[in-house]
Structure 1
Amino acid sequence: MAVHLARLTLLWERAAPVLAWPAAMLALYGVLALGGLVERMGDPWRAVLALGLLALGAAFATPAVRTFRWPERSDAHRRVEADSGLSGRPFEAMEDEPATGESMLWLAHRGRMREALRQARTRRPRAAWATLDTYGARISAAIVLLTAFAYAGDMAGVRLSDAFSPTPLAGGGERAVAEFWIEPPDYTGRPVQFLRERREARVPQGSVLAARITGLARQPRISGGEALIEEIGPGVHQLHITVDEDSAIMVRSGAFRERLDLEVIEDTPPRLALVAEPESDGQGRLILEFSAVDDYGIEHYRLQLARDPGGETNPPDDSWDTIDIPPGAVMPTRGENRYRATVETARHVLAGERVLVRMEGIDGAGQSGVTGPIGLRLPQRLFLDAMARAVAYERRLFLDGLGDYAPYPDTHPRRSADPYWPWLDDEPDLRLERAPESVQRLARALDALGDAPASHFDDRIVFLGLRTAMHQVRRAREIDELGHIEEDLWQIALRAELGTLADAEAALRAAERALSDALARGADEMELAALFEQFEEATRNYIAALMREAMQSDQLASGGGQGMDLNADMLQELLDALREATELGDTEGARRALAQLAELLRNMQIMAGGSGQGQSESALGRALREALEELGEVIGEQRGLTDETYEQSRSGDLAEGREGEEGRALAERQEGLRGRLAELLENMPDGMSEEGERAFDEAARQMDEASRALQRGDGEGALAAQDEALSALREGAAETAERLQAENEANGRGQADRDPLGRDTDGGGVGGDTEVPSEMERQRARDILEELRRRAGDGSLTPEERAYIERLLDRF
């Protein structure tokens, strides 16, 4: 080991004179780089400087190179002997051999040399540079280097990296000009942020730092983030850097240097919570009220649901199914950050079962938040027609038992002779034998449902649909070939239930959903105009189909014609209001008018489809229907009174008018509603269920409490009592509606499905809380739009003012 160390020591002592001048030139280059000279020069001058200093160092080192000699093994031996104070050349003694054999004297001599070598050692190298640098220039070089490091500061590492980097380095840049701006993600809704005189900013997570730099000969260098750089013109470069975390971004090119300190505003996931008991209707819709809070708004909602396992256990994460909710199905409701979503669940395989549901909201960054789970029975559509019920039932069993087909049997006589026989030969029995049990049952059920001549069906399309579906099921080879059967069976059930009205209703629903979604996402005027035309045409077709169904069932002749005429006038007024709001860009007004239209169309379907005014209606059914209609009016007035209480409480008028007219006027109206409810209950037919009586008693008690709270100016207390009263009234109305439905079914009158308010159960729960904008409001919107357009044409506006007005016009 001592020999090896000695050899390395000798190598350093002999190489030091050779390395002295190259090391000096390297230190000089490092000092120049730390001072920023290399960065300013750029290429090719950086390479010229480096090569020049390298050549200069080589020239000064040439004499030392000529005298350099590689250390030999014998040189290492002599160095060890000298450092250890050994004499007698012990290394040679260990390697030599006696000429006449090993005598005792020679062996003793080698033993002494071996003992001496055990004490051998190598001292540290001699001060090779000290003999060369008698004036201490190396100390001065170290001081200069440290000073240069201190001068460069946090740029030291960057400048050294640039100086020794093999990639080309752009120089110049003394006259370069840069423009920086921040482009937040589109989903944030924030405007572009220009960094004119400042170089620091707080930006939303995921923002893009953009820059346009002119006057550079070569592409700039970026540190602190990954940049996309492109040359968009001679000497003009544009760069984009995505900012996901706090960053100090450096942009350099020769003398041009810019540093931007960006602090990221973290985008938190959405926060959702259910704020009311879910509601449902007979058409299989689930109505959820929830609160949703997010930094920049939630872009997409989904309903998650899973079978209720019972107890306190939650389903595993992979067992939750999802239903996408269209944007138009989510409407803001009373209260800050509160919304109401209407979800169609009738077609889901779990419809009618006990499930756990939760709302999921997804923001623009893809982050999601969910509410806590709540248990309920998933709403399903109530089919009154026997054929429709049977088809819907078989569809449900089919979906619940989906599985793969069994493989073809290897023992078939044609299997070995013709490998393509399953695809070339039509053997539906063999295909059905391989099908899962749910498919085989569906084939038998469809065969039984359609086992009658077409003349025995009131609607030939139902007969053809059943027979076609049966043959498709029997001839399918794999389960993938039956992907359309679920939709076909649903349409057959709707056709059997509604007749020709089903197609018109489906078209109207599609047009309404498309228009509502476009309004929710803020589509442009051209798209909205086209969608409105489609909706208007679908509405006309639906009304025509509704009238045909009414005439065929003789409902118009039994007293419903006048109501239909009145509703037609209201329909036209709402269509005009919707058209005008769409043209003006009044999104909120258009959505309110669309919701009111949907409710009016449902009411028209009630009148045309039979509302219990025929001669076959029993006295009890007629009394229940009249009570239910009056109860619906009470609920509507209570809802309106609650809205007015909320507005006055929010504005502070209720508290200020504690001793004045506002509180007393609202209290008197609340007492009037309480008296009307008492009169209604006195005239209600006997036989109300215990749940219904309890609900009405609770409604009366909460209405009394609301009246007392209004008298003392307690807005919050009044609102809480009014909400409870509304909930109890709806519960009581639901019990009354069930009594009416049971009475109608007992008398063969099951066609009048109504919700707790006496309306058709097709309602989505969005109409009663909306108001169509008045003519005054529409005129004011027109005036504002005209004024904005006038100001946009003013040539004296600054660019910032013009951009602001253009943004207002885009939103308006």
Structure 2
Amino acid sequence: MTPLPVHLARLALLWERAAPVLAWPLAMLAVYATLSLAGLIERMGDPWRAVLAVGLLALGAAFATPAVRAWRWPSRNEAQRRVEADSGLKGRPFEALEDEPATGESVLWLAHRGRMREALRQVKARRPRAAWASLDTHGARISAVIVLATAFVYAGDMATVRLSDAFSPLPLAGGGERAVAEFWVEPPDYTGRPVVFLRERREARVPQGSVLAARITGLARQPRVSGGEAVIEEIGAGVHQLRMTLNADSAVIVRSGAFTERLDLEVIEDTPPRLALVSEPESDGQGLLMLEFTATDDYGVERYRLQIARDPGDGANPPDDSWDAIDIPPGAVVPARGENRYRATVETARHVLAGERVLVRMEGIDGAGQSGLTGPIGLRLPQRLFLDAMARAVAYERRLFLEGSGEYAPHPGPLARHVEDGFWPWLDDEPELRLERAPHGVQRLARALDALGDAPSAHFPDRIVFLGLRTAMHQVRRAREIGDLDHMEEDLWQIALRAELGTLADAEAALRAAERALSDALARGADEMELAALFEQFEEATRNYIAALMREAMQSDQLASGGGQGMNLNADMLQELLDALREATELGDTEGARRALAQLTELLRNMQIMAGGGGQGQTESALGRALREALEELGEVIGEQRGLTDETYEQSRSGDLAEGREGEEGRALAERQDGLRGRLAELLENMPDGMSEEGERAFDEAARQMDEASRALQRGDGQGALDAQDEALSALREGAAETAERLQAENEANGRGQGDRDPLGRDTDGGGVGGDTEVPSEMERQRARDILEELRRRAGDGSLTPEERAYIERLLDRF
């Protein structure tokens, strides 16, 4: 067996003889790698890269030829002699152990072999001799390593790319003359910013989430990209396209052979939306919550949600997972007076917490999915007030069902036996075992619906309510799992509405659906054809709703008792609002159309007919009459205060009211404000006794803010006057709400409804148009048409410069 030192010595001899052969090829390889790291190879491209590689290879082979000719493979004897020399042994012990004596083994020969064997136990092979030292007497190899390391550091993150390109068997683009690149940046759609083309520049500031796109022609192979993750695809022969999403500042480098492009892109951070409630939320008897808030974002808020949580009552904020969210349709959020101020109307009547003390907060979500929240505010979540006993009962059972029922218990029987026979297993699900397995809440709902359906016939003037109750009861009994009852919440709500409103419920649902569709289309900027179709649907739904109102009123004899005149007045006003909405839609005045739709919706929402016959054969009490008259006068005061506030805003904006400026405008507005203050004082003097503390506090605050607004107007402080007038309006509405609750309580106590009032809830003797509703005048609409026609005429003027024509086209696109 050959000892290990002999193998090591043989390897050492192999290296010492191979070093002269490899010296020059390795030197040429180091030169080629250094040139590639320096960027020369990628600038040369093919075929010069191949020429240089072949030349250096040939030069190295020429210098290595003498060493190749002198090459000999180290033998075993040479390795043994190397070990003996490295170990300082004499007598050639390896040969002694392998030789045989000619005359047989004597004692002396055996003793000699024993000494040689003992000597070989201490042998060792030293490391190879410095083979290159004799060739490189000046230490050029050290210099080569230093130069190569310096080139690697100089190349930076492109070192591996350049080495890969230099040694790649695939062809490279030659010289960079044929490769052409086009770069552009596509901002996210929600930013509304145009595409940025990087024609003569290679730097830009772009929104976060933008996409860097490029189309490169003339490359023989796919480019490499550093500075981010890019998706590269070949879309044609020699044509490559890349796309890269930018979320942080990036120095993007695109390389392929001699082709090199560097782009320095600064990313503008997209911050989350910022929201804040600016006034106390308002509500009505139909379960609608109105909130006014400010919302700011880099590129605008796209979606809004109302978050609701049960108020813990200890001042602590509920945990994040206890907040429920209601999506707000885009059309339900309209601009309010003031910068970045909006008003949202949210239907909360169907929420499980309706009528309870809750915390609410507005959530705004931008196009990037980031959200911002307002601070929580406590209130009693608005609920729909059902006056009909059957409607109240159904709504109550729906509420209990929504609060949670749990899951069904598993079926006790063997249901799998029919599967083998080809039958469905649920065929053996006995009906009596379905309700038995149901949770307590579902069993209670089944019993309640059964009891409601067994009510006397006097409770079912509308047979559809009876059929709805019986159908719902059978569906609850037949359900096999809680998922089968997902539709029950909607069904029970519709039954309650039908019991409360009769046929009016269907007309109201169709009107709300048409209203939401039109509002959402206006909010997203739909085209004229879609808006026209949606407007026709809304107008038809409005006509059907008015017809249903009149039918309900005639059934309860309200029209016969004097309500017809009020209905005619409301119909005229509705038609005027519809005309204004149609013209604003045709003119492309999106904001004007949204305002007109909001006003029309508010008017329709207030048109309530109490169809239960409460006005027949009953008289109004003196207290109820006084409260009603006070409430009507309050409505007029609120309308005039709102008009005065709008006029103050317009004059303040135009500069007629400025800080420290006194003039006729401020004194005239102050006198009108004082007049309203006096009218409010007279109204409060005639108000019946028994007002709640909240109502007294609200009216006192309204009077105080009116006085403050008057003083601000006298000294020319427009902003101070506006702030005080806003507070006065809020306090007046709160006081009016308290007065309305007193009136409703009085009417209920006397068994009296609203039979002698028109659909707006006003006395039919003095019905008229409220001051809160603003309809664009004919002059304003004609002015809008004139402006649109002038823009169209100028757009066709051939003498316009491209900049002027582009400006007019942008105006036409907007209006």
TM-score range, shorter chain: 0.7 to 0.9
- Pick which of 731-740 and 237-246 moved more: 237-246
1:494 matched to 2:497? The reply is yes
Distance in 2, matches of 1:753 and 1:443, equals 40
Distance in 1, matches of 2:558 and 2:339, equals 44
**How far off is 1:403 after superposition?**
1.7
1:435 matched to 2:419? The reply is no
Query: 2:274 — aligned with what?
Result: 271
**How far off is 1:482 after superposition?**
1.1
1:447 matched to 2:450? The reply is yes
Query: 1:318 — aligned with what?
Result: 321
Judging changes above 3 Å, is the alpha-carbon distance between structure 1 residues 154 and 594 closer, same or farther for their aligned structure 2 residues? same
Aligned partner letter, 2:401: F
Q: Structure 2: any 5+ residue segments left out of the alignment?
A: 100-104, 764-769
Distance in 2, matches of 1:418 and 1:751, equals 65
1:209 matched to 2:212? The reply is yes
- Pick which of 539-548 and 286-295 moved more: 286-295
Query: 2:254 — aligned with what?
Result: 251
Query: 1:654 — aligned with what?
Result: 657
Equivalent of 1:631, from 606, 612, 634?
634
Judging changes above 3 Å, is the alpha-carbon distance between structure 1 residues 473 and 623 closer, same or farther for their aligned structure 2 residues? same
Equivalent of 2:668, from 659, 665, 670?
665
- Pick which of 381-390 and 204-213 moved more: 204-213
Aligned partner letter, 1:532: F
Distance in 2, matches of 1:580 and 1:50, equals 78
Distance in 1, matches of 2:756 and 2:692, equals 20
Equivalent of 2:682, from 673, 679, 682?
679
Equivalent of 1:397, from 400, 406, 409?
400
Distance in 1, matches of 2:80 and 2:718, equals 104
Query: 1:186 — aligned with what?
Result: 189
- Pick which of 549-558 and 86-95 moved more: 86-95
Aligned partner letter, 1:437: H
Equivalent of 2:475, from 472, 492, 501?
472
Distance in 1, matches of 2:126 and 2:143, equals 31
| SS, match of residue 657 in structure 2 | helix
Distance in 1, matches of 2:440 and 2:334, equals 43
For the Cα contact (< 8 Å) 2:180–2:217, is it kept in 1? yes
- Residues 256-282 of structure 1 show CA distances to partners (whole Å, capped at 9, x for unaligned) of 432211111111111222222222221
**How far off is 1:226 after superposition?**
3.4
Please list, as runs of the form range in 1=range in 2, the aligned pairs for 1:745-760 lying within 5 A after superposition: 745-750=748-753
- Pick which of 31-40 and 505-514 moved more: 31-40
- Residues 172-193 of structure 1 show CA distances to partners (whole Å, capped at 9, x for unaligned) of 5414443322211100011122
1:307 matched to 2:310? The reply is yes
Please list, as runs of the form range in 1=range in 2, the aligned pairs for 1:594-743 lying within 5 A after superposition: 594-605=597-608, 616-655=619-658, 658-743=661-746
- Residues 75-131 of structure 1 show CA distances to partners (whole Å, capped at 9, x for unaligned) of 7786677678x45589979999998699999999999998x87xx8956x5443343
Q: TM-score, normalised by structure 1?
A: 0.87
**How far off is 1:793 after superposition?**
4.2
Aligned partner letter, 1:638: Q
Between Structure 1 and Structure 2, how many residues are aligned?
799
% identical aligned pairs: 86
Aligned partner letter, 1:387: M
**How far off is 1:70 after superposition?**
6.3
1:550 matched to 2:553? The reply is yes
For the Cα contact (< 8 Å) 1:306–1:320, is it kept in 2? yes
- Residues 157-201 of structure 1 show CA distances to partners (whole Å, capped at 9, x for unaligned) of 543332234665344541444332221110001112222221100
For the Cα contact (< 8 Å) 1:43–1:168, is it kept in 2? yes
Distance in 1, matches of 2:775 and 2:662, equals 34
| SS, match of residue 653 in structure 1 | coil
| SS, match of residue 335 in structure 1 | coil
**How far off is 1:415 after superposition?**
9.4
- Pick which of 523-532 and 673-682 moved more: 523-532
- Pick which of 419-428 and 242-251 moved more: 419-428
Distance in 1, matches of 2:283 and 2:795, equals 48
Distance in 2, matches of 1:151 and 1:41, equals 19
Query: 2:334 — aligned with what?
Result: 331
Judging changes above 3 Å, is the alpha-carbon distance between structure 1 residues 434 and 132 closer, same or farther for their aligned structure 2 residues? same
For the Cα contact (< 8 Å) 2:618–2:752, is it kept in 1? no
Judging changes above 3 Å, is the alpha-carbon distance between structure 1 residues 499 and 87 closer, same or farther for their aligned structure 2 residues? same
1:200 matched to 2:180? The reply is no
Aligned partner letter, 1:294: D
Equivalent of 1:540, from 539, 543, 551?
543
Equivalent of 1:378, from 371, 378, 381?
381
For the Cα contact (< 8 Å) 1:172–1:217, is it kept in 2? no
- Pick which of 767-776 and 322-331 moved more: 767-776
Aligned partner letter, 1:663: G
Distance in 1, matches of 2:96 and 2:699, equals 118
Distance in 2, matches of 1:94 and 1:595, equals 116
1:286 matched to 2:289? The reply is yes
Aligned partner letter, 1:678: A
**How far off is 1:389 after superposition?**
0.3
For the Cα contact (< 8 Å) 1:179–1:212, is it kept in 2? yes
Q: Structure 1: any 5+ residue segments left out of the alignment?
A: 761-766
Please list, as runs of the form range in 1=range in 2, the aligned pairs for 1:120-159 lying within 5 A after superposition: 122=126, 126-133=129-136, 138=141, 158-159=161-162
Judging changes above 3 Å, is the alpha-carbon distance between structure 1 residues 132 and 109 closer, same or farther for their aligned structure 2 residues? closer
For the Cα contact (< 8 Å) 2:648–2:669, is it kept in 1? yes
**How far off is 1:356 after superposition?**
2.2
Distance in 2, matches of 1:353 and 1:174, equals 75
- Residues 365-389 of structure 1 show CA distances to partners (whole Å, capped at 9, x for unaligned) of 1111222222222211111110100
For the Cα contact (< 8 Å) 1:383–1:389, is it kept in 2? yes
- Residues 207-229 of structure 1 show CA distances to partners (whole Å, capped at 9, x for unaligned) of 12223344555554433333344
Aligned partner letter, 1:403: G
Judging changes above 3 Å, is the alpha-carbon distance between structure 1 residues 781 and 128 closer, same or farther for their aligned structure 2 residues? farther
1:458 matched to 2:457? The reply is no
Aligned partner letter, 2:706: M
Query: 1:810 — aligned with what?
Result: 813
Query: 1:164 — aligned with what?
Result: 167
Distance in 1, matches of 2:470 and 2:672, equals 60
Query: 2:582 — aligned with what?
Result: 579
**How far off is 1:445 after superposition?**
0.9
Q: TM-score, normalised by structure 2?
A: 0.87
| SS, match of residue 182 in structure 2 | strand
| SS, match of residue 463 in structure 1 | helix
Judging changes above 3 Å, is the alpha-carbon distance between structure 1 residues 736 and 99 closer, same or farther for their aligned structure 2 residues? farther
Q: What is the CA RMSD across the aligned residues, in angstroms?
A: 4.0
- Residues 525-552 of structure 1 show CA distances to partners (whole Å, capped at 9, x for unaligned) of 1111111111111111111111111111
Distance in 2, matches of 1:4 and 1:420, equals 81
